[in-house]
Structure 1
Amino acid sequence: MSWRSRRLMWFVYAPVAVLLLLIAAAIFIVATFDWNRLKPTINERVSQTIGRPFVIQGDITVSWAREPGEGGLAAWVPWPTLQARDIVIGNPDWAKQLQFAQLDAVRFRLAPLRLLFHHVEIPTLYVVRPRIDLERDAQGRATWDFTFGKSAQPSSWALDLHAVGFDHSEITFDDAVNKANLKITVEPLQQAIPYDQIVAQQSADAAEQAGKVAGAGARQAVAKANAKDESRPGSTHAAYQFAWQAEGRYQGEPVKGTGKTGGVLALQQTDQPFPLQANIHVDDSHIAFVGTFTDPLHLAALDIRLWFSGASMAKLYPLIGVTLPDTPPFATQGHLKANLKRGDSHFSYENFRGRVGGSDIAGNVTFDTGGPRPKLAGEVKSQVLRFADLAPLIGADTNAEKQRRGDATPQPSDKALPVEPFRTDRWRAMDADVQFSAGHIVRDASLPIDALSTHVVMDNGVLRLDPLSFDLAGGKVNSNLSLDGSRTPMQGNIKLGARHLKLKELFPKFEPMRTSFGEINGDATLDARGNSVSELLGTSSGEVKLLMNDGAISKALLETAGLNVGNIIISKLFGDKTVKINCAASDLAATNGLFQTRLFVFDTEDATVNIDGTVNFANEKLDLDVHPNSKGLRVLSLRSPLYVKGTLKNPDVGVQPGPLILRGGGAVALGVLAAPVAALLPLVVTSKGEPDNACAAVLEQMRNPSKATPPSTKNPPKTAQKQ
């Protein structure tokens, strides 16, 4: 080889040799470098960044290995695995505990070539045996809220962390805001459990729990919903690798929970779901779920099957923050999907099914936390609704049920009207816009309500049922109800119209009414204030109109209906016999709970009975005069005026000691009765009865007694023939 050739080769290979020598030297230096010398710098920089004390108390070590996933020349470059032992992260000064976290070690691999481009790429960060203390004080300050330091200029470095792995963990949670104090432990399973196996186990457990809480019907409903969901495709291949358990108190109630999770949480790859499962008992409420969580960096893509059960839906409020009504024991199953953002999260509980008491429920609801208040919206349906299950919603459930829930208000012995207060304290916690309907209602034969539908709107503490409609006794009741719970006392108003309520369906067990063509029509408009039925009626102002034709009445019927005052009056007038009523008409004016009779009359075959006076719902006192005008035979009891004194709970009915002059200077005069009679005529027109409707004749007689003929002698009401 010539001198020129050797010189050329020297210029070619010398730089390569020098580069290889430098690389070898660098590897030697890095491999033998004492990384513990960097601990003071690392501790200081990290502490400044997170705004907390950060200390690596143990050794920092580095090992090298080629990365199997790399190709080409990059496959020859070894990746370092860094490990720091015994790490302590401090708490802010206000916290009870000095340390936020203690970690046995942190371990991660690093892509070296990416560093040349100011890019820190870490495939998985492993946290070894963490002990974490989470605390929030009454002012809302939380130890998990870090104040990260801000530099004057943006950093040229980028961090790319793909996933986080962990093992045995201990977590304490002390939250003064939610009155929670929990201890949670996480331990690795002996072997991974497939996702589908956990789903099957949780489904069976939830159905069994539903049966314990809400009965066999609830267990069957949840099991049926489980089977339908399990038949759908889309199960994940993720496996559960850790088990957790929690114990403590939440909102003053004892809490116990168990569950399972995956082992590595993917922070960026949404095609790698993190499996979750939980079984949580808070007092007598049970929450269970199984599903996946993906894309945690953006707090999104929560997709789980969710089960609820408990003594009352109202008890879920401290757990899930959703204001729900008092209900009988319940159990539901459905899919919960969520897009989670701080202060603006969206939840959807889809295709849920279940039981509330003896009623089935199904539907879809959403819950949004954005806006001035959280909002619940959606549609809920019931194919078969047991009427008794509606009682707690309107404060009409039994004292035993209220005492079981621990929120009973004693009913005074001298009060007939319920004093149980409405629970308006939570109405301003959220808004609502929910459609509810029931196709068929199971009820006692004495209450012939067949279907119900309503639109529930809650807006800043104002509850509206607009409309509230139901089928009753072959007719229809349409109403609009508004209760303003944002005001103290609560303001309420109701507009109600009842049309074509068939008497034979309204009283199916009362034999004399089973052949009747008669019906009831009525209107009511009332404004009131107060936080219970007693207070609302005791302050109500407005009017009530009612018209009934071709009916019958008896003391026994009124006793069955719980109308204590009425059955005493009827027994005084007619004894125990059944009385046929040609027409009953009433027009009442209310002012601050005092209901004044503008017109109150019922016409029978034996007499026309006028009732005049007041009922004061504020103190439940009665002050009525009953004046019977007998027809034909002058029976003593049908020509003796009565007085009605006392209270609704303890009425005092007796014979007037002397002649009775009706209030208002003779209410039978045309000038006095013309206005209330005219006000009732639209209800006669509304009726679909016979052309010779008995009420039309009775009201005409009252308007012009010199020309009209009593209906009992001119056109007796027609009745249907018995089959």
Structure 2
Amino acid sequence: MEPTTTPTSTTRFHFKRWQAVLLSIVAMIIIFFLLFDWNWFRHPLEKYISDKTQREFTISNLDVDIGMTPTVKLKDVFFANADWSKSGDPMAKIGSLEFSVSLRDLWEHKIFVPRAAMSQADLVFEKGEGDKRNWVLQKPEDQQKSSTFRISSISVDQGRLRYFDHAEPFEVDIQASTFVPTATVQVTDAKAKADNTRYTTRYEFKGKFHEAGFSGDALTGDVLSFKESNIPFPIKGRLNAGTTRASVVGTIADVAAITAIDVQLDISGKTLANLYPFLLLPLPASPPYEFHGRLIQKGNRYGIDDLRGIIGTTDMAGSGAYVKQSPRPLLTGKLHSKLLNIADLGPIIGLETKDTHSTPTGTGTTAKPLQAETSTRAQAQAKERATGGDKILPTGTTAAKGSGILPSGKFEGGRLKAIDAEVDYSAASLKAPNALPVENMKFSFRLHDAVARLTPLEFGFAGGRIVSDITIDARQEKVLRSEFNVDFRNIKVAQLFPTMPNIAKGVGELGAQVRLKGTGNSIADAAAHADGSVSAAIAHGRISNLLDAIAGLNGGKALGLLITGDKDIAVNCGGAYFGVKDGIGSSQLFVIDTEQTRVDGSGTFSLRDEVFDMNVVPRPKKPGILSLRTPVHLYGSFRHPEFGLDKGKIALRAAATIGLALLNPLTALIPLIETGGGKETDCRALLAPVQGAQLQAKSKATSAPKGSAPAPVSRSTVASQAAASAPARPASRAASATTAR
């Protein structure tokens, strides 16, 4: 009987047969790919990429290792640059390039490269005007649909990258090498979280930013994320730019676009002026500085938290931010100091002090930037003085006139157009030159559309306050327009000269106002062309011992000639008012009223030449009180005043002193010397007859018949009102003059 085959055994036989066939096919495919010359695809690949990018692409050899993450190997890669490139070099020349690709992630429209390695690479990245970038190979509409691209690990041997930003301008040349060649894949798929706890790649770089040279080195981690900003990328680096030193430790994200930074920043240097090419912010040629803080960048905002440091001997703390925006970047900051040394920051307004010996200057926008020459502070000042001319940094220059006391440091208006700023600063205490009684300071600085304002700039000074509102308008091409509104409030005269013990015996409060508008590129130039007024008032004072104390000061002896006697004499009120036109001040009021005498004066001063010429005359309220009644001539420069007796002068007319011209200026000054609480100065008593005369004039004008012109108020009328309420005086000017002689 013949054996029979069952259906089960037949099925099993056919399955094994097909299994063998399939295995054979797979084996043949594997053998085919193993033996296949992938260079057959080289020319089609070159043509495809060249046609797609409109740039030449060539390779000398192509090979592929098959697997779930196939590895592509290329030799002698050449990729041409964009047609608008200015470098003259191809975008890429790579001796050897190999990279692996995750096939699984391709189904999710993600390109994940677990590993890439290159040797003898020379890459050129360029950024042109507008949105031109030579590494962007797609049209804008295609970029929105593009796959995310991420590289896990890069190994570089003898690599070079050059980056040019022609719009900034900025250029950098980077040499890179991986010092852990065995670094392998740190991420297994595109969704995994990268581990960047190691530094694996070393960089050395050099370049220029706005013509300022720099160099340095850095260490980075494995993972480079070009389009996913949530992947941290560790970095540790050092930067040298002339005398400036900076270091960072932290992470960045999105290496190609730099969308986020979180690093600890340390920076130091010989002078802040050398930072201008990097910040585009006009900074003074300060003493050496050192700052530390945490730098955080999100989008277009670069912020520094927990900023702390020192400039010279001045400490600084606070926070700040730099925002890249149109039409101008914005700088913001809130800073404070425990101790501010004026000698450290005085150069910002062109102020020369004993500690600085000279003021900082600079080169203009058309000259080669000083910062590119790695200058120290002293070298910066010398270089700026030698080459600055009329186009210099807005940090001041030494006065052309050796005898001038007004800061003549020139401001470059063009640089105020480069940035907007909002900065608030306060100092708990100040160290000022020449023992000035400056106690504290605060200011609010606003720069917008080339108009800078310090509103307010406030000082604690001699027991009172100095409150300023300063505006500098740089919208004109060549000449700056300035406006200065300064109030001196409740200044204690006894504290103005703290080094003189006899001053403590003198009391009194001083108030003053400065209202000036001018044009010029320095404080001295603006003052030389200024219009406005300068006024001052004093009350609650006592003199005699005070005069003895200040007799050694410039001009002090001249005041000592006005009033004699050994006893303290009360000062009822004193006031001065000068109208200023084109830098020339003319007195409209000058009077000091005491218990026993009144001093009248008149004269002029020149802010252009920094000189003055005054005549003052003592007028006793009782004959015989003063032995000296000859007019005194005060003259000379602001720095070196002189005085002398002018016996040929005729005494000033008393009626011309206490007149309506006194009322408005002195009335405006009274609030600056009254302390509040119902306490009034004797200036109000001095003004009483003048105000009475004015009221009488108004009354006569009101009662006059309709159609008739109001009767003018003459100075003689006012004088007679004043004389009626004042103590007895000499009967006539002639008698007074005779007595004086």
TM over 0.5: yes
> Could you tell me how far apart the structure 2 residues matched to 1:289 and 1:701 are?
72
1:706 aligns with 724
Other-structure match for 2:303: 348
- Residue 211 of structure 1 aligns with which residue? none
In the alignment, the residues of structure 2 paired with residue 152 and residue 380 of structure 1 have an alpha-carbon distance, to the nearest angstrom, of 46
Aligned CA distance change for structure 1 residues 151 and 505 (closer, same or farther; 3 Å): closer
Residue in structure 2 matched with residue 400 of structure 1 by the alignment = 358
Call closer, same or farther: CA 1:5–1:675 in 2, change over 3 Å: closer
Q: Quote the offset at 1:13 in angstroms.
A: 6.2
Which residue of structure 1 lines up, in the alignment, with residue 473 of structure 2?
Answer: 484
Alignment deviations for residues 405-448 of structure 1 (CA, whole Å, 9 cap, x no partner): 23343422364433211243322211111221112223457322
SS in 1 for 2:358: helix
Aligned mate of 1:34, from 32, 37, 44: 37
**Rounded Cα–Cα distance in structure 1 between residues aligned with 2:298 and 2:120:** 30
Question: What amino acid does structure 1 have at the position aligned with 2:329?
Answer: P
Aligned counterpart in structure 2 of residue 428 of structure 1, from 407, 412, 417: 417
Shift of 1:383: 2.0
Partner of 1:411: 399
Change (3 A) 1:191 1:694: farther
In the alignment, is the contact (CA less than 8 A) between 1:120 and 1:157 conserved in 2? no
Q: 1:569 to 1:701 in 2, by over 3 A?
A: farther
- State the SS of the aligned residue for 2:608: coil
**Matching of residues 118-137 of structure 1 within 5 Å:** 120-133=111-124
Which residue number in structure 2 is paired with residue 389 of structure 1?
A: 344
Structure exhibiting the larger radius of gyration computed from Cα positions: 2
> Could you list the runs of 5+ residues in structure 1 that have no partner in the other structure?
66-77, 194-235, 712-723
Partners of 2:438 and 2:237 lie apart in 1 by 41
Instruction: Give the letter aligned to residue 354 of structure 1.
Output: G
Q: Deviations over 1:308-345 (max 9, x none)?
A: 112332321212444545533211100001124xxxx1
Q: Distance in 2 between matches of 1:156 and 1:357?
A: 55
1:79 match: secondary structure = coil
TM-superposed deviation, 1:619? 4.0
In structure 2, C-alpha distance between the alignment counterparts of 1:548 and 1:27, rounded to whole Å: 104
Deviation digits for residues 620-641 of structure 1 (CA, Å, limit 9, x no counterpart): 4534332233566869983222
- Does the CA-based 8 Å contact 1:276-1:290 persist in structure 2? yes
For residues 270 and 309 of structure 2, the distance between their equivalents in structure 1, rounded to whole angstroms, comes to 14
* More displaced stretch, 26-35 vs 550-559: 550-559
SS across alignment from 1:371: coil
Moved more, 527-536 or 436-445: 436-445
Structure 2 matches for 1:145-224, cutoff 5 A? 145-146=134-135, 148-150=137-139, 158=147, 160-168=149-157, 169-172=159-162, 183-189=173-179
Following superposition, the deviation at residue 649 of structure 1 comes to 5.6
CA distance in 2: counterparts of 1:517 and 1:348, whole angstroms: 50
Change (3 A) 1:192 1:162: closer
Instruction: Give me the identity figure in percent.
Output: 25
| Aligned equivalent of 2:65, options 63, 66, 81 | 63
Q: Which residue of 1 aligns with 2:217?
A: 258
Q: 2:511, 2:669 within 8 Å by CA — same for their partners in 1?
A: no
In 2, Cα distance between the equivalents of 1:125 and 1:482? 58
**Alignment RMSD:** 4.0
Query: Deviation string for 1:463-495 (max 9, x for gaps)?
Result: 112222222222223332221122342122233
User: Alignment partner of 2:202: what SS?
Assistant: strand
- Once the two structures are overlaid, the 10-residue window that deviates more, 100-109 or 698-707, is 698-707
Distance 1:118 1:595 in 2: 79
Which of 528, 532, 537 does residue 527 from structure 2 map onto?
A: 537
Distance in structure 2 (CA, Å) of the matches to 1:577 and 1:309 = 59
Instruction: Identify the match of residue 277 of structure 2 among 308, 318, 324.
Output: 318
Shift of 1:533: 1.0
The DSSP-based 3-state class of the residue aligned with 2:70 is strand
Following the alignment from structure 1 to structure 2, what is the Cα–Cα distance between the partners of residues 29 and 480? 85
Aligned residue among 94, 110, 116 for 2:101:
110
Once the two structures are overlaid, the 10-residue window that deviates more, 13-22 or 151-160, is 151-160
Report the CA distance between 1:156 and its aligned residue: 9.2
| Distance in 1 (alpha carbons) for counterparts of 2:310 and 2:728 | 55
- Residue matched to 2:631: 641
Give the length in aligned residue pairs.
Answer: 644
Q: Structure 1's 687 and 478: CA in aligned 2 closer, same or farther, altered over 3 A?
A: same
Structure 1 residue 369: Cα displacement: 0.5
Q: Is the 8 A contact 1:293 1:302 kept in 2?
A: yes
1:379 aligns with 2:379: no
SS at match of 1:439: strand
Tell me how far apart the structure 1 counterparts of residues 139 and 170 of structure 2 sit (CA, whole Å). 33
1:372-400 Cα shifts (integer Å, max 9, x gaps): 21111231111222233231232214453
Write the letter of the residue equivalent to 1:24: A
The structure 2 residue matched to 1:511, chosen from 482, 485, 501, is: 501
In structure 2, distance between residues paired with 1:601 and 1:154: 80
The separation in 2 between residues aligned to 1:114 and 1:21, in whole angstroms, is: 29
Alpha carbons of structure 1 residues 581 and 96: separation in structure 2 relative to 1, 3 Å: farther
8 Å CA contact 1:280, 1:288 repeated in 2: yes
1:283 to 229, 239, 242: 242
Match of 1:366 in 2: 321
Query: Aligned pair 1:667/2:653, yes or no?
Result: no
Post-superposition CA distance 1:297-316 (Å, at most 9, x none): 66333111001112332321
Residue 370 of structure 1, CA deviation: 2.2
What TM-score comes out, normalization by structure 2 length? Answer: 0.76
Amino acid at match of 1:494: F
- Alpha-carbon distance in 2 for matches of 1:577, 1:249: 72
Deviates more, 1:568-577 or 1:641-650: 568-577
Please state how far the C-alpha of 1:579 moved relative to its aligned partner. 9.1
Query: What residue number does 1:446 align with?
Result: 435
Matching residue's letter, 2:65: S
- Compared with structure 1, are the counterparts of its residues 635 and 115 closer, same or farther at alpha carbon in structure 2 (3 Å cutoff)? closer
User: Retained in 1: the 8 A contact 2:511–2:672?
Assistant: yes
Larger mean Cα displacement after TM superposition, 123-132 or 330-339: 123-132
Rounded to whole Å, the distance in 1 between the matches of 2:133 and 2:443 is: 44
SS in 1 for 2:447: strand
SS at match of 2:328: coil
User: Match of 2:332, SS?
Assistant: strand
Closer, same or farther: CA 445–647 of 1 in aligned 2, 3 Å: closer
The residue that corresponds to 1:304 in the other structure is: 263
**Helix, strand or coil at the partner of 1:400:** coil
Structure 1 counterpart of 2:446: 457
In 1: Cα distance, 2:28 partner to 2:181 partner: 44
Q: In structure 2, what is the Cα distance between the partners aligned to 1:376 and 1:367? A: 5
Contact 2:518 2:527 in 1 (8 A): yes
Give, in whole Å, the separation in 2 of the partners of 1:272 and 1:259: 19
Q: 1:607 to 1:157 in 2, by over 3 A?
A: closer
Q: Give TM-score, length-normalised by structure 1.
A: 0.78
Q: 2:242 corresponds to which letter in structure 1? A: D
Q: Distance in 2 between matches of 1:390 and 1:151?
A: 49
Does residue 333 (structure 1) correspond to residue 292 (structure 2)? The answer is yes
Distance in 2 (alpha carbons) for counterparts of 1:155 and 1:285: 41
**Structure 2 letter corresponding to 1:433:** E
CA-to-aligned-CA distance 1:569-616 (integer Å, 9 cap, x gap): 447757999996724311222233222212122346775332212223
Residues 417 and 684 (structure 1), Cα distance of their counterparts in 2 relative to 1, 3 Å cut: closer
Rate the CA distance shift 1:158–1:639 in 2: closer, same or farther, 3 A: closer
2:46 corresponds, among 39, 43, 46, to 43
Q: 1:424–1:252: structure 2 CA closer, same or farther, 3 Å change rule?
A: same
Mean Cα displacement is larger for which, 103-112 or 87-96? Answer: 87-96
